[in-house]
Amino acid sequence: IVEAVKQGRNIFDNIKKAIHFLIATNIGEIVAIFVGLLLGIKSPLLAIQLLWINLVTDSFPAIALGLERAETDIMNRLPRNPKKSIFADGLWGKIITEGTMLGMLTLLAFSIGTKKYGVDVGRTMAFLALGLLELIHAFNIKSEESIFKLNIFENKFLVGAFILGAVLQIGVVIIEPIAQVFKLVQLNTTQWLYTIVISISPIFIVEIQKKLNSLKHIEIINETVEYSKSK
């Protein structure tokens, strides 16, 4: 019975992680396009580029997150209220915040590229950045714990999804005949550096978010303990 409960909690957690990842990344794509239109700039991504990102950098990590092992504290948690939505306990807030972050970072890559080198370079940087942002962000969703406290290589499927997605995403840009199909151009060293720095920034942004959530959680526990003692 205990093992069945553990497996059930793990399945629920993994479904939640996959949904979290898919909706957050799709919001990121919507934000990048919608905010770009509101600002009156050219679209940071073309339809064929968005289709590629949805097929490659969205799907593989989502499947891999669905195959995560049970977290170490999974049986120490209180039973979940079956009446609660899967989006309860602040999940919607996290999804919207993270999706907005991904979209704005994509726009940042596009803006830097367009301003300094032209719209074609800007779109290529945005395309690369968004794909890599999503692949890297999958590791943030792996656990509520800090990514620096986790064994990020534990889930071989997630590592494999990252490597495969990164190779395909970068390959589309550097293999010229394929790049032409997707309306992409070759980048120089400086442009690659801009893109990589933007792509890894979610690690540190989400770490701050996790730290704030942890402090808030501790505060709630302390208040509950104090209230119990007073009774």
pLDDT tens-digit profile of 81-125?
A: 888 888 877 788 889 999 999 999 999 999 999 999 999 999 999
pLDDT (tens digit per residue) in 106-118? 999 999 999 999 9
pTM over 0.85: no
- What the block records as the tokens of 35 is 């905010």
